Amino acid sequence: MDFKKLLEPYSENGRTIEGQIKWLTSKQILREYIDLTILKVYNELESGKKFEDGHALDRYLFDIAKAIQDLHLSKQAKELENFMNAFKENWEKEFKNRTKLTFFQRIKAVFKQ
């Protein structure tokens, strides 16, 4: 895939792939999501997708990157929620198990009185 060749029809105002990456980075999109976005969008360009102009391409890049990032962040939040719920459940069980007296400890407690 030749990014520069695919970008030629949209190269007004000196638009480059490097510039698009910098622009997406400035919009607080994480690099891993930028990479996924570039691959997805440029694959679509290679398959024949057309845009009105470079600005439309950039907006599409941003929309896809934002959607990918939001999807991953939602997934991370759900995984963290599941982890915390499992941790709390196991912690409570472990705490209850440790606070229970064994049979011999209960017998010993009866004779101490």
The answer to whether position 9 is within a domain reads: yes
The answer to whether position 48 is within a domain reads: yes
Measured CA to CA, the distance from residue 6 to residue 17 in angstroms comes to 10
What string of pLDDT tens digits covers the 113 residues of the chain? 888 899 889 888 889 999 999 999 999 999 999 999 999 999 999 999 999 998 999 999 999 999 999 999 999 999 999 988 888 777 777 767 666 777 777 777 777 76
Give the number of domains in the chain.
1
The answer to whether position 11 is within a domain reads: yes
The answer to whether position 22 is within a domain reads: yes
Query: Whole domain around residue 47: which residue ranges?
Result: 3-85
Measured CA to CA, the distance from residue 36 to residue 44 in angstroms comes to 12
The answer to whether position 50 is within a domain reads: yes
pTM of the full structure = 0.69
The answer to whether position 109 is within a domain reads: no
How many other C-beta atoms can be found within 10 angstroms of the C-beta atom of residue 51? 17
20 secondary structure, DSSP code: H
